[in-house]
Structure 1
Amino acid sequence: MNTQINPVIEKKDNLYLIIIGILSVAVPVLVSVLFYLPQTGKLGDLDVSFLPHLNAVLNTCTTIALLSGFYFIKFKKDARLHRMAMMVAFCLSSLFLISYVIYHYQGPHTIYGDINHDGVLDIAEKSAVGIWRTIYILILVPHIILAAVVVPFVLFAIYFGISNQFSKHVKVVKWTFPIWLYVAVTGVIVYLMISPYYGA
Structure 2
Amino acid sequence: MITEEEKKYKKWIVLLSIVIPLAVAVLFGVNLRKLGYDVTPLSFLPPIYATINGLTAVLLFAAVAAIKKGKVKLHENLVKICMACSLAFLVMYVAYHMTSDSTPYGGEGLIRYVYFFILITHILLSVIIIPFVLFTFVRGIAGAYERHKKLARITYPMWMYVAVTGVIVYLMISPYYVH
Q: What TM-score comes out, normalization by structure 1 length? A: 0.81
Runs of at least 5 residues in structure 2 that lack an aligned partner in the other structure: none
Code of the aligned partner of 1:73: I
RMSD over equivalenced CA pairs, Å: 2.0
- Structure 1 segment 1-200 matched on structure 2, within 5 A: 10=4, 12-35=5-28, 37-41=29-33, 44-74=38-68, 76-113=69-106, 129-200=108-179
Aligned length: 177
Code of the aligned partner of 1:112: Y
Task: Return the structure number with greater relative CO, CA threshold 8 A, min gap 6.
Answer: 2
What is the rounded CA distance, in whole Å, between the counterparts of 1:163 and 1:67 in structure 2?
22
Deviates more, 1:43-52 or 1:95-104: 43-52
Structure 1 residue 40, shift from structure 2 partner:
4.8
Structure 1 residue 60, shift from structure 2 partner:
0.8
Runs of at least 5 residues in structure 1 that lack an aligned partner in the other structure: 114-127
Indicate conservation of the 8 Å contact 2:39/2:99, yes or no.
Answer: no
Code of the aligned partner of 1:72: A
Q: What TM-score comes out, normalization by structure 2 length? A: 0.90
Post-superposition CA distance 1:61-102 (Å, at most 9, x none): 10110000011112x121121112111111111111111111
Q: Segments of 4+ in structure 1 off by > 4 A?
A: none
